[in-house]
A and B are shown apart, each in its own frame.
Chain A
């Protein structure tokens, strides 16, 4: 199946090297297990089913992306995984042990910048280590190693607000990883960044992921990002948030930007788009009947 032969590519057919890799991933232990997870929000008497019957196994050192239309419960899912929100039903196991509430075994990087503004960059990275009861000196030593790894050791003594958004998110990643979690959860961490920085961050994240023993669950609404990063993509659908499909990404690693134009990439993206952007029912009623009246002279045309 040639790359130029776009029309005939099926996103479900994995190239041999990818298939082999996927088999290897599946032979590894399951780090994160989600069983029959459900979430119902009760608000002013009304109940919103945000998630229903989510089942997922994430293997060690796997990179899983979660995509879905707005409001399908992506954030809710990752917040439950992090222990910041209580599940209404089902359970979560990390290394086959059920978890309840937040813990250092699951690190999280948020969309909003959440570095502690009163701590220097180095002190931010030290935070998780200090909370684990590790001595100041040892924490500092390890934090500096992490800063070296992400190339920000020059900024160790800067305050977060002196850094650009991209740099802040890199520090946030280092801060999460320094606590040595089993799973790194990321909720649209790059969506506030400009396009160029975002691509650099994606590459940077994969570089880190390649080199350390970490399993990543990454939420995004950017389909390119999901395909570029993930081994598998979990697609959710909205109202209620259910699993639509789990896609194994047919791209070999290491990933390169050129792959974005490949037939496999395009086929996968087309399929994801068909799953997520079902234009008819849901989004239509929001804009229905909103024809903007003409407020200029009829002769004053712009197009």
Chain B
């Protein structure tokens, strides 16, 4: 530990250990999950009845607490009847990794496996559209307004106090209002995502704009730049990398409002799918749907991060 290791405060992680640690961060949770699922003595608090034996109230496929099952076995022994049989299992809400994986694969291989109801992919596609429009509408208002607030102190004083107030109102609180105004279909859902994202967006982007190196502004002024030219030749390109990073973070926030938004009015999209499957106790499908959200969210962010490296090379290398 004489050199700066990754475990020293503000230390450095080497190339190799970075890969190893990255792999572990995915593998470790999976390993724990697998162990809990497949090693019978680790948790398995319930018993899945495979043969009810002589006990009347038991049925095949029934889950019950292990203690209750053992009492039933003893009772049957005492009564001299055939003892019920069963295997230790985890509760229904904790499916095994294998079960979730096959549900996930099923979603792609056999998209219509849920009969007349919408498949996981159809449901998810609907969700993505809601997010997309919510985020686009929010950005169309929030980005220009945020940049202007950051660049014009007077506008900032005029706009930011009320925005600061509004952002503390939880977006779901607008749910009923939005349904009353916009109906029960997609419009109020998009509105909730806009409300959840927009106010933060204005403030965050205004702050980013204010952080532009003032020296660059002054240099540009002495070179004759002013007004619109100054805005589009210096302010916008100067803050663009940070603005892009803000947008990435804000897109993540938009996702967190999705579930709430989809419960408003007629429930729809991936949320509808999840609640529906949970009602049928198809928890493997529930987990598969959640995994899909996570993977798509992370994937988008990684893609955007990758693109940033090419788009803003000057920023990457100056830092």
Contact = CB atoms under 8 A, between A and B. Distances in A.
Interface of A: 82-84, 102-104, 106-108, 110, 112, 114, 116-119, 127-128, 130-132, 159, 161-162, 172, 175-176, 179, 185
B223 A175 contact: yes
A289 B17 CA distance: 53
Interface in B261-319: 312-315, 317-318
Given A116-B216, A118-B237, A107 B314 contact: no
Given A102-B221, A102-B226, 9 more contacts: A83-B221, A116-B216, A117-B318, A118-B312, A118-B314, A128-B224, A159-B317, A161-B314, A161-B317
Given A110-B218, A116-B237, A127 B317 contact: no
A83 B224 CA distance: 11
Contact of B224 (A103, A112, A159): A103
B233 A127 contact: yes
Contacts of A162: 317
B234 interface: yes
Interface in B212-244: 213, 215-216, 218-226, 229, 233-234, 237-238, 240
A127 B222 contact: no
Nearest to A103: B224
A127 B224 CA distance: 9
Nearest to B213: A114
Q: What 5 A-B pairs have minimum CB-CB distances, sorted nearest first?
A: A104-B224, A114-B219, A128-B223, A108-B222, A102-B221
A172 B223 CA distance: 11
A103 B234 CA distance: 16
B222 to A, nearest CB: 4
Interface string B180-213: 0000000000000000000000000000000001
A257 B314 CA distance: 38
Contacts of A176: 222-223
A116 B221 contact: no
B308 to A, nearest CB: 13
Contacts of A159: 313-314, 317
A103 B225 CA distance: 8
A302 B57 CA distance: 94
Contacts of A179: 223-224
A114 B218 contact: yes
Contacts of B312: 118
B225 A83 contact: no
B219 A117 contact: no
A84 B318 CA distance: 27
